[in-house]
Amino acid sequence: MIDKEKIRKQAKRIMDNFIKALDKAGDIKEEFGSERKDSMRTEIKKGKDPDFRKRMFMNAPKKKKDFLVMEKKNW
C-alpha cells in the first residue's frame, strides 16, 4: 500500500532542498517558487472502455487473428 503522507513529505523535502540550492546559486535574477494547497492530485477512477480493443484492431495497419503484427527496431 502506498503511504501518500510519506510520499508527500518526501516530495516537499526534495523541493525545499532544491529551492535552497537555487538560493545558493546567486546568479539567478528571477524569483522561483510556487505553493499549492494540495501537493497530491485527486485520484480519478476510470472504467474499462469495452470498445477499445475493437477500435485498436480497426486502426492497426497489420494484424493476424487476435494479435498485432509489429516490426522490432534496433535503436
Please give the full DSSP string across the chain, using - where no structure is assigned.
---HHHHHHHHHHHHHHHHHHHHHH----S------S-SSPPP------TTHHHHHHHH-SSEETTEE-------
Kindly report whether the global pTM for this prediction surpasses the value 0.85.
no
User: What confidence score (pLDDT) does residue 13 get?
Assistant: 94
Q: Going residue by residue through the chain (75 aa), what tens digit of pLDDT does each one get?
A: 678 889 999 999 999 999 888 878 766 667 667 777 777 777 888 888 889 888 989 989 898 988 999 888 876
